[in-house]
Structure 1
Amino acid sequence: MTTPESTPNIVLNVNGIEVIYNHVILVLKGVSLNVPEGKIAAVLGGNGAGKTTTLRAISNLLKAERGEVTKGSIELRGERIENLSTSDLVQRGVVQVMEGRHCFAHLTIEENLMTGSYTRKDKAEIARNLEKVYNYFPRLKTRRTSQAAYTSGGEQQMCAIGRALMTNPSVMLLDEPSMGLAP
């Protein structure tokens, strides 16, 4: 028996979503998941199973791929978010690290990290977040002045995750974070 005190707060609630691409191609049907506060959830499946589409639906990146959530709901702490802009979602603490180490090649590692703090105004918070990223990924601190294009795949992946951490997220969506990296 669970009591109200033992019931975890649900941060993210995906309830029976359906995603269609190009107004005709049904990609997801009836996908549901809950992510409690302070917990990690994984979406597992083979190639083409809909993992990336599920993450794009949550972070509202489907429009760029001519897709849309046509049924169901996506809630962040009880607020429906499926129609919010990606920038509104980042303001609310939802950030996605997309597959493929998307770094700004011409920027340094530190400049890449700082692009993740564009929603933050408090310079002390930005400095704390940067130090937190460097504590998680000491290699980035060593390479902070290197142009991202001239860093390894692993360093670029750390940079992409670090940039997301700079937003101080409450929900971080990682799409294939270890793809293409050596063990």
Structure 2
Amino acid sequence: MQRTVILASTSRYRRELMNRLHLPFEVHAPDVDETPLPGESPAAIANRLALEKARAVARRFPEAVVIGSDQVADLAGESLGKPGDHERATAQLRRMRGQTLVFQTAVAVVCQATGFAQQDIAPVRVVFRDLNDAAIERYLRLEQPYDCAGSAKSEGLGIALLEAIDSDDPSALVGLPLIRTCRMLRAAGVDLL
């Protein structure tokens, strides 16, 4: 019996990545408080939230295999979230110019009925160019990446902001590490092919 697969996310980027797998899946909002805990590192935030999102939806759909994911931009140990607006995005990109960030992208797969639970994190090292203010402004006006951690979309024009990307799971920077997700789905009994 193939279990229902659910993506516990409202992110259109994660939904687009899941579509690449040609696997039927549902999408349900996890309704999880994403406030970082005091002293929590960026990687710990991403890991905790990915698992909490998967478990929150698995409680509502105990027979399903549920995928939760979270991404936190890590600038020298400081968490950078989604900017939400132009002003905050400008400030983020100014701080990031010439810097190396690690985008901590965590994924968790849970099936409450079978007791299955696995999680992993795919750190992506990203080197930003030393951008001038005019380039930052042009980029933000064209792409408006206000719903993206770190204010940059590498799958679009944001690639022009970067010097290098280093990752063993290329989709992780977009928001869902598909290599790790596929591995966990197979372990949970989902036939991908």
TM-score (norm 1): 0.29
Higher-helix-fraction structure? 2
TM-score (norm 2): 0.28
